[in-house]
Amino acid sequence: MDGKSKFQDVSIAPMHTAEHILNQTMVRMFGCPRSRNAHIERKKSKCDYQLDTCPTDAQIAEIEAKVNEVISMHLPVTVEFVPRSEAASIVDLSKLPEDVSETLRIVRVGDYDACACIGAHVGNTSEIGRFRITSHDFADGRWRVRFRLE
């Protein structure tokens, strides 16, 4: 990848943007932090969430439905650069390395999500496709969800 971050790969832009929507959906539904461990690929991806219990089948269906609802809203995906001191009031900075720049790149998915991120994203959620959870497992407070776009 010529020294670039995997998340800067334009071919994964739809999946990476879907990950942002999934993260915000999990935060809103379960009050958990954003995924601390994600593996994003063009064809399939996975995210890990810290939860007390495994989501029920009904909750998993609700997660999938909510992510697809947000995608179907055709929200603009925008980028802005803000001073780190201002970013702290917009996004969670706990995942950032200590030596991060004083100016942060904030990616917004409409009014639904905002996250400090260096990756490639689509310009509008209409470019993502349909989100589908393909499998999941739960162990020791970690819920791993695998998903794809169709």
From residue 136, give the alpha-carbon distance in Å to each of 46, 73, 74, 81, 147. 9, 26, 27, 35, 9
What tokens appear for 128 in the block? Answer: 């993502």
Domains and CATH numbers, the chain: 6-149 (3.30.980.10)
Give the residue among 9, 26, 6, 16 at the shortest CA–CA distance from 145: 26
pLDDT digit of tens for each residue in the chain (150 aa)?
Answer: 344 455 567 889 999 999 999 999 999 999 999 998 999 999 999 999 999 999 999 999 999 999 999 999 999 999 999 999 899 899 988 878 888 889 999 999 999 999 999 899 999 999 999 999 999 999 999 999 999 999
Strands of the sheet with 142-149, listed across from one edge: 37-39, 45-50, 142-149, 131-139
pTM above 0.85, yes or no: yes
